[in-house]
Amino acid sequence: MRNEYTQRFSSDLDETHEKLRKDVMRTIEAHGMRSITDLPEMTAAECAKWFFWNMHENLEQFRQYEPTLIGQVMCTTLTLTDGLSMATEKVGAEKRVALTCRWHLRLAYASYQNEEAFPIGDGSVTLSIADEVPTQPPLQKNQKGYIDSDNSLYPNQLFMYGWVKESIWNEVKPHLYTPTPNCQTDLMLRDNCLFPVKSGFGFVAGPPGSIGITNLEFTVASHSVDRRMNRRIETLRKP
**Looking at the domain assignment, is residue 184 inside a domain?**
yes
Q: What is the pLDDT of residues 190-203, one digit of tens each?
A: 999 999 999 889 99
**Tens digits of residue pLDDT in 35-59:** 999 999 999 999 999 999 999 999 9
Whether 72 maps to a domain, the answer reads yes
pTM of the model as a whole: 0.83
Query: Looking at residue 111, what is its pLDDT?
Result: 60
Does some domain include residue 82?
yes
Residue 4 lies in a domain: no
Question: What pLDDT is attached to residue 77?
Answer: 92
Q: Provide the domain limits for residue 171.
A: 15-237
Q: Rounded mean pLDDT of 70-86?
A: 86
**Which pLDDT belongs to residue 113?**
64
Residue 84 pLDDT greater than 60, yes or no = yes
Share of the chain above pLDDT 90, in %: 59
For the purposes of burial, counting CB atoms within 10 Å of the CB of 95, is it exposed (0-12), middle (13-18) or buried (19 or more)?
middle
- Residue 206 gets the label, from left (phi > 0), alpha (psi -120 to 50) or beta, of left
For residue 3, is it within any domain? Answer: no
- Residue 169 has a pLDDT of 93
More confident residue, 83 or 5: 83
Amino acid identity of residue 80, one-letter, is: L
Looking at the domain assignment, is residue 54 inside a domain?
A: yes
| Residue 6 included in any domain | no
**98-141 pLDDT, tens per residue?**
999 999 999 997 665 688 999 999 999 999 999 888 888 889 99
Strand order in the sheet with 217-222: 194-196, 211-213, 145-150, 157-164, 114-129, 91-109, 68-84, 183-189, 217-222
Give the 3-state DSSP-derived string for the chain, with helices as H, strands as E and coil as C.
CCCCCCCCCCCCCCHHHHHHHHHHHHHHHHHHCCCHHHHHHCCHHHHHHHHHHHHHHCHHHHHHHCCEEEEEEEEEEEEEEEEECCCCCCEEEEEEEEEEEEEEEEEEECCCCEEEEEEEEEEEEEEEECCCCCCCCCCCCCCCEEEEEECCCCCCEEEEEEEECHHHHHHHHHHHCCCCCCEEEEEEECHHHEEECCCCCCCCCCCCCCEEECCCEEEEEECCHHHHHHHHHHHHHCC
pLDDT tens-digit map of 195-225: 999 988 999 999 999 999 999 999 988 766 5
Within-domain flag for 179? yes
Q: Domain total for the chain? A: 1
**Maximum pairwise Cα distance, the chain:** 70
